[in-house]
Amino acid sequence: MFKTLSAANLTRLMVGLCGCGFGLTLMLRAHLGLSPWDVLSQGVSLRLNIAFGTASILIGAIVLLFWIPLRNRPGFGTIANAILIGTWANLFITVIPVSSSYLQSVWMFLTGLLLVGGASGLYISANLGAGPRDGLMLGLATKLNKPVWLIRTLVELTVLGIGWAMGGQFREGTIIFALTIGWLMQRSMKLFAIKSR
């Protein structure tokens, strides 16, 4: 059951989504690779000649359509996630320059990764609904009666392959993201769960 839409929960959600948008933009500008879903967003943005954040919003909307046969019920946070992370990314892209050196790229990528991990834990702690992509994977796991890790792996490999074929960044950062984001999010969720008591 979701928490009520209190000022505290709404603040957690909004700050978390803004932090995710900022972190994703840092990783995008670092040019060291992106998360699988963001590789797809970048590929779509290149093919359709639209902004990265707009592509992310479009993909989020399409993913929500797949919730219908899975009988997933979106929460306020689900819709906010689908719209605001991409919106924030579009805004931050206008002020964050592209990295000018490999060392700066590493710094930008790692900072972005830490921000996404921490901000994800913050907005999840608001408990106002799963993001479109997470809800899709949980719904598929339930519908197919398969482990979440298996469904997540298959879905993310699929979107990564499609995004890479469309020109999205698949580099060392993509692998680092895949190996560390789960741990970072878990630590962040524990941190914010303690603070919310």
Residue 42 has a pLDDT of 96
19 domain residue, yes or no: yes
Say how many domains are in the chain. Answer: 1
Contact status, residue 9 vs residue 3, Cβ threshold 8 Å = yes
2 domain residue, yes or no: no
Work out the pLDDT band at 1, boundaries 50, 70, 90. very low
Pick 114 or 182 by higher pLDDT: 114
Total residue length of the chain: 197
Query: Any residues with CB less than 8 A from the CB of 5 and at least 6 apart, and which?
Result: 76, 128
170 domain residue, yes or no: yes
82 domain residue, yes or no: yes
155 domain residue, yes or no: yes
Residue 145: pLDDT above 80?
yes
* Through-space distance between the first and last CA atoms of the chain, rounded to whole angstroms: 17
Query: Any residues with CB less than 8 A from the CB of 163 and at least 6 apart, and which?
Result: 36, 37, 38, 39, 40, 41, 42, 43, 44, 170
49 domain residue, yes or no: yes
Work out the pLDDT band at 13, boundaries 50, 70, 90. very high
Residue 62: pLDDT above 60?
yes
Output the DSSP codes for 18-62: HHHHHHHHHHHHHTS---HHHHHHHHHHHHHT--HHHHHHHHHHH
| Entry pTM | 0.87
Rg (CA), the chain: 16
Burial letters for 24-34: b for 16+ Cβ neighbours within 10 Å, e otherwise? bbbbbbbbbbb
Domain that holds residue 133: 7-195
- SS3 (DSSP) at 192: helix
Q: What pLDDT, in 10s, does the model give residues 26-52?
A: 999 999 999 999 999 999 999 999 999
Pick 197 or 129 by higher pLDDT: 129
1 domain residue, yes or no: no
Contact status, residue 45 vs residue 90, Cβ threshold 8 Å = no
63 domain residue, yes or no: yes
Residue 189 has a pLDDT of 80
Residue 184: pLDDT above 90?
no
Work out the pLDDT band at 3, boundaries 50, 70, 90. low
Q: Which of 79-88, 103-112, 126-135 has the lowest mean pLDDT?
A: 126-135
Q: What pLDDT, in 10s, does the model give residues 112-135?
A: 999 999 998 899 888 898 889 988
- For residue 46, how many other CB atoms are within 10 A of its CB? 15
